[in-house]
Amino acid sequence: MLGWKCNKNIQVNAEIHLTKYCISSWMDESGGSQQQKEKYMSLQDIDLIRYVFAFDKNSDLIRKKEYKYSIQDKEDILRIIERNKANLLVDSNNDRFYIGIAKDKAIHCKINGVQY
């Protein structure tokens, strides 16, 4: 699936801030095999999406979905990253959680360009 995510908040001046978005693809939650969902992940940089927004034809927000990841979800994500030789990109507020799980569970994966 294709979508967009907030990439960076840019301060233009003291009163104006712009939010930059980028187009990204993600593995959807719908049916299909795990292999089909991971088809394009091999050797890629992978971002985790926190929010998905739905807009109507007038660009008004009609739905906002937040994804929260449990410890088990994080471990599963790291195993997918390992299996696909991908690189998980996480912000500095959350990288320690993923790094800790990778080390504790001996998951040989790449996080922010560093192999664990």
CB-based contacts of 20, cutoff 8 Å, min separation 6:
6, 7, 8, 9, 10
Q: What is the spatial distance between Cα 81 and Cα 102, in angstroms, rounded to a whole number?
A: 11
| Cα 112 versus chain centre, distance | 12
Burial of 37 (0-12, 13-18, 19+ CB in 10 A): middle
Per-residue pLDDT tens for 2-60? 455 555 666 777 877 766 665 555 555 556 666 666 766 778 888 887 777 777 778 78
Q: What is the pTM of this model?
A: 0.65
Neighbours of 97 (CB within 10 A): 13
Q: What pLDDT does 53 receive?
A: 77
Q: What pLDDT does 21 receive?
A: 61
- Residue 4's DSSP bridge partners are 23
H-type alpha helices, 5-110: 34-37, 71-83, 95-104
In the block, residue with structure tokens 């990439």: 7
User: 84 pLDDT exceeds 80?
Assistant: yes
Q: What is the spatial distance between Cα 20 and Cα 6, in angstroms, rounded to a whole number?
A: 6
